[in-house]
Amino acid sequence: MNQSARKRAEQAQTILVVEDEILIRLVIAEYLRDCGYKVIEATNAEEAVLVLKKAERAIDVVFTDIEMPGAMDGFGLSRWVRANRPHIDVILAASVARAAHAASELCDAGGNFPKPYRLHSVADRIRRLLANRKTRNDKSRSREQSGVAKGRGHFVNGQTGHAVGGKDVIRH
Strand, helix or coil at 90? strand
What domains sit in the chain, N to C, each tagged with a CATH number? 3-158 (3.40.50.2300)
Sign of CA dihedral 71, 72, 73, 75: positive
pLDDT digit of tens for each residue in the chain (172 aa)?
455 544 554 568 999 999 999 999 999 999 999 999 999 999 999 999 999 999 888 999 999 988 889 999 998 999 999 999 999 999 888 765 555 555 555 554 444 445 677 888 888 888 888 888 767 667 766 666 655 444 445 545 443 333 222 333 333 4
Strand partners, 132: none
Q: What is the DSSP letter of 10?
A: H
User: Beta-carbon neighbour count of residue 137 at 10 Å?
Assistant: 11
Give the list of residues 6+ apart from residue 45 with CB closer than 8 angstroms, or none: 18, 64, 68, 70, 71, 72, 73, 74, 76, 77, 80
Phi, psi at 37, each rounded to 5°: -90, 150
CA distance 103 to 108: 9
